[in-house]
A and B are shown apart, each in its own frame.
Chain A
Amino acid sequence: MSPEIASIDFGPPTEVFVDAAVAERFARETGVELEGDRAPLAYPAVWLAEPRLRERIAQICAEADALPVHESQRFAYETALRQGARYRLAVAARREAKPSRLLLDATLSDSAGAVVGRVETVLRLVSRAELPKKGDA
């Protein structure tokens, strides 16, 4: 593996749940009309903000003295997410040096182990030293 790309441990898969009330609020705030028991396709954004993932991302940013800036996001599904359903979320992560990025590849599977979808998140790690300051040209 290139020294400019390093795998990062994000721990074992965790169980996640599509809370129907949260799905409804998420849909309302993103302008999505829900159909039946489907969840909004961007609903996994809620799971990416769960404390264990957030704390790990914050730790990586702190070590890099950087702020995370959301650079890109992708959702891909074999089947639609369902409200009230439980899934397993496995996160594989890697760090790129040039440019400085954290890439999260999450796989969602159902209780039988079948892959339901994948969620790819790219965070650009912007050095605090490079941030413009108020008054800069």
Chain B
Amino acid sequence: MSAAAALPEVGERLPPLEIGPFDAQALTRYAEVSGDDNPLHLDDALAQSIGFSAPPVHGMKLLAAFERLLASWRGDLFIASLGGTFVQPVLRGEKATLTGRVLRVSPEEGVFVRLYAHGPGRAPAIIADATLRPRPGNEGP
């Protein structure tokens, strides 16, 4: 196995990535491109009516950002899966920090990474995971 294809060690931590804060224009742009125009993310009055001080950022927008975290860390690996549970919202105007740690590594199953997105709250906003594998021959850059 070449040095470039060497798999990470269990316990390795990914360099954290800070994203945001996202303003109303950013949420509108994401809504337009994704098609997720749920007014909860765009309408202050609606968000306040159900107890939020500001509209929550689209969970998918935050989850999608893990691709950058993973690619910045090990761009030589193929991201075979990414999934997450949206635990609590990150609100408009708030920053989020994406972190990750390698939990399992095997030549057969690849690299399993536990991921978190944290907003200002103590509990994570997203609990996620990803599996990365050496790139197949047709998945080169």
Query: A49 and B34 in contact (CB under 8 A), knowing A70-B59, A75-B81, A79-B138?
Result: yes
Interface centre among B36, B49, B63, B64 (most CB of A within 10 A): B64
A49 in complex: contacting residue of B19, B35, B49, B78, CB < 8 Å: B35
Q: Binary interface profile of A, 9-45, with partner B (CB < 8 Å = 1, else 0)?
A: 0000000000000100110011111011000111001
Interface centre among B35, B50, B81 (most CB of A within 10 A): B35
| Smallest Cβ-Cβ distance to A22: which chain B residue | B33
Query: A42 and B67 in contact (CB under 8 A), knowing A75-B82, A133-B49, A134-B48?
Result: yes
Query: A77 and B67 in contact (CB under 8 A), knowing A46-B34, A136-B51?
Result: no
A74 cross-chain contacts in B, Cβ below 8 A:
81-84
Decide if the interface of chain B is mainly helix, strand, loop or mixed: mixed
Question: In whole angstroms, how far apart are the Cα atoms of A56 and B132 in the complex?
Answer: 34
Tell yes or no: B123 within 8 A of A by CB. no
The answer on a CB contact under 8 Å between A41 and B82 is yes
Question: In whole angstroms, how far apart are the Cα atoms of A33 and B68 in the complex?
Answer: 7
Tell yes or no: A129 within 8 A of B by CB. no
A70 in complex: contacting residue of B80, B86, B139, CB < 8 Å: B86
The answer on a CB contact under 8 Å between A77 and B34 is no
Query: A79 and B136 in contact (CB under 8 A), knowing A73-B83, A132-B50, A134-B49?
Result: yes
Interface residues on B, range: 35 or more
Question: In whole angstroms, how far apart are the Cα atoms of A131 and B68 in the complex?
Answer: 35
Tell yes or no: B30 within 8 A of A by CB. yes
B103 cross-chain contacts in A, Cβ below 8 A:
none
The answer on a CB contact under 8 Å between B64 and A46 is no
B60 in complex: contacting residue of A22, A31, A50, A73, CB < 8 Å: A73
Known A29-B33, A31-B19, A49-B35; further 7 A-B contacts with Cβ < 8 A: A25-B33, A26-B34, A32-B67, A32-B71, A45-B35, A48-B35, A76-B80
Q: When A and B form their complex, which 7 residue pairs have the shortest distance between CB atoms, in order from nearest?
A: A49-B35, A74-B83, A42-B64, A30-B64, A76-B81, A72-B85, A25-B33
